[in-house]
Chains A and B, each alone.
Chain A
Amino acid sequence: DIQMTQSPSSLSASIGDRVTITCRASQNISFYLNWYQLKPGNAPKLLIHAASTLHNGVPSRFNGSGSGTDFTLTFSSLQPEDFAAYYCQQSYSNPPTFGHGTKVEIK
């Protein structure tokens, strides 16, 4: 199975901060990389697919980039509703494994 490594595992930031999360795959996955947001008590939400394509209705302050093995999720200006956990997932091969997650907390 392809292993996905996210960093950091958690971070503290302030409203308006620019924040970047990274995700590394154990092998080349081209652009087959998705990002999800998970808030306590809520269903996970798809943010980005194909490494950089925003899903319907996702605010433009979210930006995904990367290809091959290294990927990033960037928040251009952190908003109150962005405090949550974020997961990358590869869809290159089955099973489509997740990273261990990054928890974004309020500083």
Chain B
Amino acid sequence: QVHLVESGGGVVQPGRSLRLSCAASGFTFSTYGMHWVRQAPGKGLEYVAVIWHDGSDKYYADSVKGRFTISRDNSKSTLYLQLNSLRAEDTAVYYCARGENFYASSGHITNALDIWGQGTMVTVSS
């Protein structure tokens, strides 16, 4: 059974830090790109960051660039998100998700987030 389980959320003061973890099981973690997506209360899904399967490349949303860091430990099948300089607007449920490559009949390869965790809540408040 393929599973992603996030942990590490909680209540933190503005300006402080937090590290989220995402434990993967049931698939070969080291062969997949992995993503973080968040949903603020009453808002829609917002993309946060992606890391290549081998950690060789990363992309971040502008809203978190310079403050958040995505990383992974393939030996532990675990994805991380380090959240620094937290702001009230970072309050959200944070989901990790697996990026799967799909092969279209045309021969093109597309990517989609096919497995998601249940999320971990981060509340930034004084």
Contact = CB atoms under 8 A, between A and B. Distances in A.
Nearest to B61: A95
Interface stretch (B7-15, B23-31, B45-53, B83-91): B45-53
Interface residues of A, number: 28
B45 A38 contact: yes
User: A-side binding surface: helix, strand, loop or mixed?
Assistant: loop
Interface in B37-90: 37, 39, 44-47, 49-50, 59-62
B46 A98 contact: yes
Contacts of A12: none
Given A43-B116, A43-B117, A53-B102, A98 B45 contact: yes
A9 B108 CA distance: 31
Contacts of A95: 47, 49-50, 59-61
A44 to B, nearest CB: 5
Contact of A49 (B37, B45, B46, B110): B110
Nearest to A42: B118
B125 interface: no
A100 B44 CA distance: 5
Nearest to A102: B44
Contact of A50 (B45, B59, B110, B116): B110
A44 B95 contact: yes
Interface of A: 1, 30-32, 34, 36, 38, 42-46, 49-50, 53, 55, 85, 87, 89, 91, 94-101
20 contacts: A31-B110, A34-B112, A36-B113, A38-B45, A44-B37, A44-B97, A45-B116, A46-B114, A49-B102, A49-B112, A50-B108, A50-B110, A53-B102, A55-B112, A89-B45, A89-B113, A91-B111, A91-B112, A100-B44, A101-B45
